[in-house]
Amino acid sequence: MNDKKSPPVAVTYEGDVTIATLTRERILEDADIRALEETILPLIAQGDSIRLVIDFSTVRFLTSAALGLLIRISKKVRERGGRLALCSIQPKIYEVFRITQLDQVFQIFPDADQAAKNV
């Protein structure tokens, strides 16, 4: 699902947990970041206390701008009394999280099921 015309995020629900699965392998361009922002921020705005999981299982490459977006998303979720977890992050991308110490900022789980249970 790497077609630029496909939605950048597939949204599903597991009980009261919203799971936003990123559908593109590469999140590199400003247009990619905007598309994610335009999809995820409205989910957060729908109500207070959202329990949001962002699933990275498809993502192989991302830029620092994508990391910046994740930090903004996290802030918005906290402001609305919600909780955020990330899951299924590929080893090379996880290494970026570790080096930047974002692994200390985000709850990160091996898969969506574990993330949904703990968010």
CA 69 to CA 35: how far, in whole Å?
11
CA 1 to CA 119: how far, in whole Å?
26
- The helix (run of H) or strand (run of E) holding residue 113 is helix 112-118
Task: Fill in the amino acid letter for 63.
Answer: T
pLDDT tens for the 119 residues of the chain, in order: 445 667 899 999 999 999 999 999 999 999 999 999 999 999 999 888 999 999 999 999 999 999 999 999 999 999 999 999 999 999 999 999 999 999 999 999 999 999 999 99
- Take residue 72 and report the two structure tokens written for it: 């903004």
This prediction has a pTM of 0.93
* Structure confidence at residue 6 (pLDDT): 75
The Cβ of residue 30 has, within 10 Å, a number of other Cβ atoms equal to 9
* Structure confidence at residue 13 (pLDDT): 96
In order of start, what are the domains of the chain with their CATH numbers?
9-113 (3.30.750.24)
Closest CA to 11 of 94, 112, 117, 118: 112
